[in-house]
Amino acid sequence: MNKKSLIFLGGLALWTLFPAAGHTSLAATAKDNYRTYCAQCHGLQGNGRGVNIRDMSVQPRNHTDASYMSQRSDEDLAKADRKGGLAIDKSVLMPPWGDTLSPAEIKDMVQYLRTLCHCTFNSQ
């Protein structure tokens, strides 16, 4: 075994021992992602009243509205985030974020939306 591969294996061992350390320092939190990408339409407070909404023909969803948000499953919310409104038969004004957010970030975002509505999926 040469020197390079020893260093590589050592690094790999460290990385498998402490995967979380690298992860949390790199990944943006869902809250930061929301402020950057979603707040422009859904509002700094998540109430659907963002700075962009005045002339929009369909208004952004109020993410603090528990009665609406509890009717949407986590999969529905993730699909809307990743592929945009058109993919779920809703307005094109809701953009797709699949090229901006990683699958892990979208998963975290759905959990963040649940904290905004203080709700979980309730199928009835």
Partner 1 sequence: MSPNHLLLRLLPGLLAVILALALSPAWAGESAGMALLESRCASCHNISGPAPATIHALWARKAPDLFYAGNKFRRTWLVSWLQHPVRIRPAGEFYADHVKPGPERDMVDESTLAPHMALGAADAKLAADALMTLRAHDDLIAKEHVPAGSISRSMGSLVFDKFLGCMACHRVKPDFGGLSGPELYTAGARLKPAFMASYIRSPQSWDPKIWMPNKHVSDTRIVQLVHYLQALSKGGSHE
DSSP output for 18-85 = SHHHHHHHHSPPHHHHIIIIIHHHH-TTSSS--TTGGG-SSPPP-TT-HHHHTTS-HHHHHHHHHH-G
Q: Which does 55 bind (CB under 5 to 8 A by kind): ligand HEC, partner 1, none?
A: partner 1
- 46 near ligand HEC, rule: CB under 6 A: no
Which one, 3 or 54, has the nearer CB to partner 1?
54
Q: Which two tokens stand for residue 12?
A: 């790999």
Of the chain, the end-to-end C-alpha distance in Å amounts to 61
- 72 near ligand HEC, rule: CB under 6 A: yes
Within positions 53 to 112, which residues make up the interface with partner 1, using CB under 8 A?
Answer: 53-56, 84, 91-93, 95-100
Contacts with partner 1 by CB under 8 A lie at 26, 28, 32-33, 35-37, 39-41, 43-45, 49-56, 84, 91-93, 95-100
